[in-house]
Amino acid sequence: MIPFDDILAGSGILFAVGTFGVLTRRNFILLLISVEIIMNTAILNFIAFSAYAPGPSILGVTGQAVAVVLVGLAATEVAVGLAIVLALNRVRGSVDVAKAMDLKL
């Protein structure tokens, strides 16, 4: 089994990569990928804490149950994000975030 500290260190690195992507990317699709990396980091943390915690956590909900809910939330976020990307590409002709800042049609 991987040590708990190594899992948290890897999770911190993934979070830093995702945050860097959110702050520096101009393409909306790459921005969504960076947000997905951050959400997967949260899922990894829930699984890690659940594996090393003695017994059920608050309200009897384990980390695996929360992780399953977060995976469903991530899938919903991808569907809505891609719908926004398609609409933005149809209206503006580009998926550049700077062009999306002006919301007037």
Q: What is the value of pTM for the model shown?
A: 0.82
> What is the Cα–Cα distance from 61 to 57, expressed in whole angstroms?
6
CB 47 within 8 A of CB 67: yes
Rounded-to-integer distance, Cα 38 and Cα 15, Å: 5
Question: What DSSP character marks residue 55?
Answer: S
- The string of pLDDT tens digits covering residues 70-83 is 999 999 999 998 99
**Model confidence over 35-89: pLDDT tens digits?**
999 999 999 998 888 877 776 666 557 778 888 999 999 999 999 989 988 988 8
Domain 4-100 adopts which CATH fold?
Helix Hairpins (1.10.287)
Nearest Cα residue to 53 out of 42, 40, 64: 64
Spans of all domains in the chain:
4-100
Q: pLDDT-based confidence at 26, cuts 50/70/90?
A: confident
* 15: Cβ contacts below 8 Å, ≥ 6 apart: 37, 38, 41
